[in-house]
Each structure stands twice: as structure tokens, then as C-alpha cells.
Amino acid sequence: MLILLGCGVVANTALNKNKGKDTGFLFVNFGWGLAVFAGVLVSQESGAHINPAVTVGLWVRGMMTGDSGDDLSIQKVLVYIVAQMIGAFIGAVLCWLAYKEQFDATEDGGTKLAVFSTGPEVRNVTWNLVTEAIGTFVLVFVIMATGVIGTADNPVANMGWLNALGVALLVVGIGASLGGPTGYAINPARDLGPRIAHAILPLKSKGSSDWGYSWIPVAGPILGAVIAGLTAGLLVPGL
């Protein structure tokens, strides 16, 4: 759901022969925020992570526990992450199906790739990585501090549309304030799953999937999430 709607809003503004053509970055920010809103609402049974960085951050912090109260094993954490990646891939494929004619009407390969994955305005490995880490730190730290995300075994009490809206607005804020340099993946599955779909799908004139950059939207968010998990207790005593 997250990727279908999120990539869909980018397709609407970026691809030719669309009602939303050239509606701009602010439109994309709000679209991704609403995609997060929908994704959180429909995934509450599994804790509504929809993001490997959130899963990793909560696990590092010791906030991923099972019925016995013990921390979840790394194997179960990996199951979360694999499921998130598969969901992201499927969402990207569905987006392509919805916009098949618009993809065909768009010649530029870079524009097509932008529907699926992020890319920096200024390509610099160090600073692109730092930007992704900072954005994800904000996301994961605020989620931890406010307790709006749970686990499969311990879903958040009364997790309803208000909490989902809070996460959505947080993502809009991160996009508007920190999203300019890299397009703010802040979610390894959000970038890698659709990027794999881009590489596999029979897109006309699609060009490169930019694998040389692909590790940054994975490593940066994981780094930011780990830092959030390690420091949250220092920044919010009692957390």
C-alpha cells in the first residue's frame, strides 16, 4: 500500500500524459505522507513498521519483544524486513501497471527511474549518506519517543487513525525539511524494492537502475535507525 500510493504520486507528477503533471515536490511530499497514513492503517496487526529502518531501530532499542517479554530474535527481525521488501516490490509493480501508458509515453529514462527510487541532486557519497541517516534518525527517534508503532506480538494500544496521521505528518515534515538533497528514502524497502522492480520490468527506454547509488538509501537509513536506537534512552530519560 505504501509503495503503490507513494510511487503513484511520483508517477502522477513526473510522467507524461497525466492529470497531475508537474505538480511539484510539495505535492509529492503530501502524497507520500498519505501513502504512509494508508500503509500504517492497514498494517497494524504486524506493528505497522512498513520500514526496515523502523524495525531495526526498535530492535536495537529493545522494543521488539515477543509474548514472553524477551527480545525478538534476529531471525524474526529478518522475517519482518524480507516481508517489507517483498511488499515494496509488489507495490512498485502495481504502480507500473496503473501507469503503463504514461510510462510508455515518457521517453526519459531518468524520469522513469525517479518514479521507483530516489536519487540525489548533488551526488556525493558522504553527504548523501549523512542526509539519509539524519532524516531516518528523526523518523525513528520520534516514533520511539511517542510510542506510535508496535510489534506483531505487542501492537500499540488503540493504534488508530490519529497515530497513523501523526506518522504521516512526520514524514511530510521530514520530506519538506530534509528531503531536498536526496529525495528522502528514509526507508530501505521503499528504495530497494522498487529499484529491483525497475530493473526487472519491461519498461521502454528505461535506462540504468543506478545500482551504484542504491546502497546509500539502504545504509543511510539503517545507520540513522541504529543511532536512534542507541541514543533514544539518553535523549528521552526512561524510554
Nearest to 63 by CA among 168, 140, 138: 140
Three-state secondary-structure class, residue 71:
strand
Three-state secondary-structure class, residue 205:
coil
pLDDT at 12: 96
Q: What would the pLDDT profile of 180-219 be if each residue is shown by its tens digit?
A: 999 999 999 999 999 999 999 999 989 999 999 999 999 9
| Gap between the Cα atoms of 227 and 109, Å rounded | 35
pLDDT at 224: 98
| 197 contacts 89 by C-beta, under 8 angstroms | yes
Q: What would the pLDDT profile of 141-189 be if each residue is shown by its tens digit?
A: 999 888 765 544 444 444 567 788 889 999 999 999 999 999 999 999 9
| Gap between the Cα atoms of 22 and 44, Å rounded | 34
| Gap between the Cα atoms of 109 and 133, Å rounded | 27
Kindly list the structural domains of the chain, giving each domain's residue range(s) and its CATH number in brackets, ordered by start: 2-230 (1.20.1080.10)
pLDDT at 203: 95
Place of cell 524495525: 55
pLDDT at 147: 73
Q: What would the pLDDT profile of 70-125 be if each residue is shown by its tens digit?
A: 667 788 889 989 999 999 999 999 999 999 999 999 999 999 999 999 999 999 99
| 43 contacts 84 by C-beta, under 8 angstroms | no
Q: What pTM did the predictor assign? A: 0.90
Which residues are 71's β-sheet partners? 65
| 57 contacts 229 by C-beta, under 8 angstroms | yes
8: part of which helix (H) or strand (E)? helix 2-14
| Gap between the Cα atoms of 226 and 58, Å rounded | 9
pLDDT at 237: 80
pLDDT at 51: 94
- The torsion angles phi and psi of 228, rounded to 5 degrees, stand at -60, -45
Q: What would the pLDDT profile of 3-34 be if each residue is shown by its tens digit?
A: 999 999 999 999 999 998 989 999 999 999 99
Higher per-residue confidence, 99 vs 67: 99
Higher per-residue confidence, 162 vs 59: 59
